[in-house]
Copies of this chain bind each other. A is one copy, B any other.
Amino acid sequence: MFESAEVGHAIPKREYQRHEPKLRQALLEAQYQQLSEAKRPVIVLVNGVDGAGKGETVNLFNEWMDPRHIHTHAFGELTDEERDRPEMWRFWRVLPPRGRIGILFGSWYTDPILARVMGRQKRAKFQRRLELIRRFERMLIAEGAVLLKLWFHLSRKAQAKRLKELSRSKKTAWRISPGDWERFKHYDEFVQICELALRETSNAEAPWHVIEGVDARYRALTAGRLLLAAMKSPTAQQPPAPHAVREGADRQNVLRKLDYSAVLTRSRYDERLLAAQARLSELMRGRAMRRRSLVIVFEGMDAAGKGSTIRRVTRAMDARFYRVIPVAAPTDEERAQPYLWRFWRHIPGHGRCVIFDRSWYGRVLVERVEGFCSEGDWARAYSEINDFEAQLHDAGAIVLKFWLSITPAEQLKRFKERQSTPYKRFKITDEDWRNRKKWPAYERAVCDMVDATSTDRAPWNLIAANDKLHARVQVLEHIAKRVEAEGG
């Protein structure tokens, strides 16, 4: 994979001087073009061997283009806010919005590769992380991102020479740390692991470009031209909808199958609710929760009782440690980012709980049914969501998902009640009546959602909610049980 980057590429000075101004002008124009369209973020990954000119190239990009619209991020040690969350969180938080260029110096490849080289990580785990990266990048591209992956390479001999050169001059010695020499000792393993990583993550959508780092002019022109080509590339084709959804031959489904007759008397309710709240309250304060977090999702048709159930859950917790996120229309900052960004920003640190009142499942429910996104968008969302929740789980979150299920007749009854109760009238709008007419389409979407996203780590809990008291107790008891099993 690196053969072509060890042939001694070089560009003579005259040739460079002829090409550089044109390239520069073209890059600047392409940048303003992106900026004015504001349709796609441009994400440039800068990785490779130490001393191969990564820093110089990044500085050159900033010099050639307008640095006011470029965000460059270098990733060092994790901060303690980052350490508490899934490893991709630190990248999500710096993704450039549409129209902007984000240069990531070091990237989601750095840690998997170094951990493998230093022997901190088994091969199977390494492969799993590469698979996660592949899917993450596929998502970025499907969301419209221009993704350019640059790898700067030096042969063993060339790296040794380069490190020595840098160390010798007073002006550049600061750039070489003892760590660089330490890593150089592992050059062969490093290159071998990198080759594997590049091979496994190079595909038609997001290929790696390996650039020989010896000659500064060759490096600069090559990197600049690759960036120009990437920015001028047409918007990626939407991949075809990967998930064919089909209804069974009978009219039975997971929602209709629920037992809606279950009811609870007020006294049994009081008793069981209080018991479950007390249990949950104690578990939340337990030692084990200090290394865990809780992510709870509530979905359900309008008037299914999400809000009132959430209030019973929060009552069992200390307000200092939970946060409820009501999901409404995205802000403009959220709209300029990939779909899941607005949820990533609320991911809790250890010891905390975040409750989503509606969630990322909007993509495969309301957005699907109302046609707010393309079929390709919602169809790919199933696996993106599974990946998201798997990452939450791996970072110590207990992910709990509830579908509060009511029947159409029960919904009608509640709508009418709301209309006739003065202080509840604000809770019912024309939109609710419109949504109600699409019940079959929503029901279908819910069943598909359950089939596609009920996983071992984050199963769906379908709660018959015609009886509110019954539903609340089910939810509370379920949360307490899961927290006890996983974090207690």
A-to-B contact residues, CB < 8 Å? 25, 29, 32, 55, 58-59, 61-63, 66-74, 79-81, 103, 105, 171, 174, 282, 285, 307, 310-311, 314-315, 318-326, 331-333, 357, 423, 426
Question: Which partner residue on chain B sits nearest A171 by CB separation?
Answer: B282
- The answer to whether A310 touches B81 (Cβ under 8 A) is no
Docked pose: A476 CA to B61 CA in angstroms: 21
Instruction: Tell me the minimal C-beta distance from A439 to chain B in angstroms.
Output: 25
Other-chain residue from B103, B310, B319, B426 in contact with A68 (beta carbon distance below 8 A): B310
Docked pose: A63 CA to B118 CA in angstroms: 51
- The answer to whether B423 touches A25 (Cβ under 8 A) is yes
Docked pose: A171 CA to B326 CA in angstroms: 32
Question: Which partner residue on chain B sits nearest A69 by CB separation?
Answer: B326
- The answer to whether B105 touches A320 (Cβ under 8 A) is yes
- The answer to whether A58 touches B324 (Cβ under 8 A) is no
The 8 closest A-B pairs by CB, nearest first: A74-B320, A68-B326, A72-B319, A68-B324, A62-B319, A58-B319, A67-B314, A59-B319
Question: Which partner residue on chain B sits nearest A60 by CB separation?
Answer: B319
Other-chain residue from B25, B81, B285, B314 in contact with A62 (beta carbon distance below 8 A): B314
Residues of B within 8 A of A63 (CB): 311, 314-315
Other-chain residue from B67, B81, B331 in contact with A81 (beta carbon distance below 8 A): B81
- The answer to whether A307 touches B68 (Cβ under 8 A) is yes
Q: A68-B324, A105-B320 are in contact. List 5 more A-B contacts (CB 8 A).
A: A25-B423, A67-B311, A72-B319, A73-B320, A80-B81
Instruction: Tell me the minimal C-beta distance from A485 to chain B in angstroms.
Output: 22
Question: Which partner residue on chain B sits nearest A58 by CB separation?
Answer: B319
Other-chain residue from B59, B71, B333, B426 in contact with A323 (beta carbon distance below 8 A): B71
Docked pose: A355 CA to B154 CA in angstroms: 34
Instruction: Tell me the minimal C-beta distance from A9 to chain B in angstroms.
Output: 24
Docked pose: A282 CA to B173 CA in angstroms: 12
- The answer to whether B323 touches A66 (Cβ under 8 A) is no
28 contacts between A and B (CB under 8 A): A25-B423, A29-B423, A32-B426, A55-B318, A58-B320, A59-B318, A61-B319, A62-B319, A63-B311, A63-B315, A66-B307, A67-B311, A68-B307, A68-B324, A68-B325, A68-B326, A68-B357, A69-B326, A70-B319, A70-B324, A72-B319, A72-B322, A79-B81, A80-B80, A105-B319, A105-B320, A171-B282, A331-B332
Residues of B within 8 A of A72 (CB): 319-320, 322-323
Residues of B within 8 A of A282 (CB): 171
Docked pose: A89 CA to B404 CA in angstroms: 40
Residues of B within 8 A of A25 (CB): 423
Instruction: Tell me the minimal C-beta distance from A96 to chain B in angstroms.
Output: 12
Given the interface pairs A67-B311, A81-B79, the reply to whether A103 lies near B319 with Cβ below 8 Å is: yes
Instruction: Tell me the minimal C-beta distance from A325 to chain B in angstroms.
Output: 8
Residues of B within 8 A of A326 (CB): 68-69
Instruction: Tell me the minimal C-beta distance from A12 to chain B in angstroms.
Output: 24
Docked pose: A485 CA to B282 CA in angstroms: 56
Count chain B CB atoms within 10 A of each CB in A73, A321, A331 and give the residue with the most: A331
Count chain B CB atoms within 10 A of each CB in A25, A62, A67, A73 and give the residue with the most: A67
Docked pose: A133 CA to B92 CA in angstroms: 34
Docked pose: A318 CA to B174 CA in angstroms: 13
Residues of B within 8 A of A331 (CB): 331-333
Docked pose: A80 CA to B74 CA in angstroms: 17
Instruction: Tell me the minimal C-beta distance from A442 to chain B in angstroms.
Output: 22
Question: Which partner residue on chain B sits nearest A74 by CB separation?
Answer: B320
Instruction: Tell me the minimal C-beta distance from A328 to chain B in angstroms.
Output: 10
Residues of B within 8 A of A174 (CB): 285
Question: Which partner residue on chain B sits nearest A77 by CB separation?
Answer: B80
Docked pose: A285 CA to B175 CA in angstroms: 10
Residues of B within 8 A of A325 (CB): 68
Instruction: Tell me the minimal C-beta distance from A68 to chain B in angstroms.
Output: 4
Residues of B within 8 A of A70 (CB): 319, 324
Docked pose: A63 CA to B333 CA in angstroms: 31
Residues of B within 8 A of A61 (CB): 319
Instruction: Tell me the minimal C-beta distance from A186 to chain B in angstroms.
Output: 24
Instruction: Tell me the minimal C-beta distance from A327 to chain B in angstroms.
Output: 10
Other-chain residue from B58, B80, B171, B324 in contact with A67 (beta carbon distance below 8 A): B324
Docked pose: A333 CA to B345 CA in angstroms: 14
Residues of B within 8 A of A320 (CB): 55, 58, 72-74, 105
